[in-house]
Chains A and B, each alone.
Chain A
Amino acid sequence: SQQGEEDPQALSIQEGENATMNCSYKTSINNLQWYRQNSGRGLVHLILIRSNEREKHSGRLRVTLDTSKKSSSLLITASRAADTASYFCATRGSARQLTFGSGTQLTVLP
């Protein structure tokens, strides 16, 4: 079963705009991770946020975590055409495995 669910399923924006993707999950977690996948390729790890953290930054990425609402958001600022990809959240719970959501397909138009 999928723990994380991303919203929206697809997002299309203009270059330079900010992109926000959300992830909701059902059970308590140890950490939540965001990954990126270019079409037909493997996933690339972007950022990990632990359950006792509320916000984390990495370059143009900002991740927030609200454990009371069981949700996380990924913000990509000043988007570029090269940011076009699918973005997945993955949660680690008591089972210790990572469980991936179904992803948000981001398209950044030049």
Chain B
Amino acid sequence: DGGITQSPKYLFRKEGQNVTLSCEQNLNHDAMYWYRQDPGQGLRLIYYSQIVNDFQKGDIAEGYSVSREKKESFPLTVTSAQKNPTAFYLCASSMRGVGETQYFGPGTRLLVL
């Protein structure tokens, strides 16, 4: 069963804590992306990666970090430097590269305690 999985579905963060959101795909896609969605808003790009061991900042990278050690995996860490982390986080991937059709995971909702 091919697709993109994100875990967990819900995540709670305490003050000063770093948390990591998981994103895995078995579509053999080269490019992967992380977006943030606030209520009633569109998606804003946090980071993207076109190939393994390479990634680029998006529009709102401050307070976030990523790694791309494997083609299938693109975890996102929300650091304590991100002062307003409460949002819905979406991971996506695409076959050829940025700007092509993207396939999305089900999302992770991050809440601050």
Contacts and interface: CB of A to CB of B under 8 A. Distances in A.
B42 A101 contact: yes
Nearest to A48: B101
A44 interface: yes
A55 to B, nearest CB: 19
Nearest to B88: A40
Interface stretch (B65-73, B75-83, B103-111): B103-111
Nearest to A47: B101
Interface stretch (A11-19, A60-68, A91-99): A91-99
B93 to A, nearest CB: 11
B43 A88 contact: yes
A81 interface: no
A12 B47 CA distance: 35
A2 B90 contact: no
Interface residues of A, number: 24
A48 B99 CA distance: 11
A102 interface: yes
Interface string B79-103: 0000000001010100001111111
A56 interface: no
Interface in A66-110: 88, 92, 96-103
Contact of A30 (B48, B99, B104): B99
Contacts of B44: 100
Contact of B98 (A88, A96, A103): A96
Given A88-B42, A97-B48, A97-B98, A42 B59 contact: no
Nearest to A6: B42
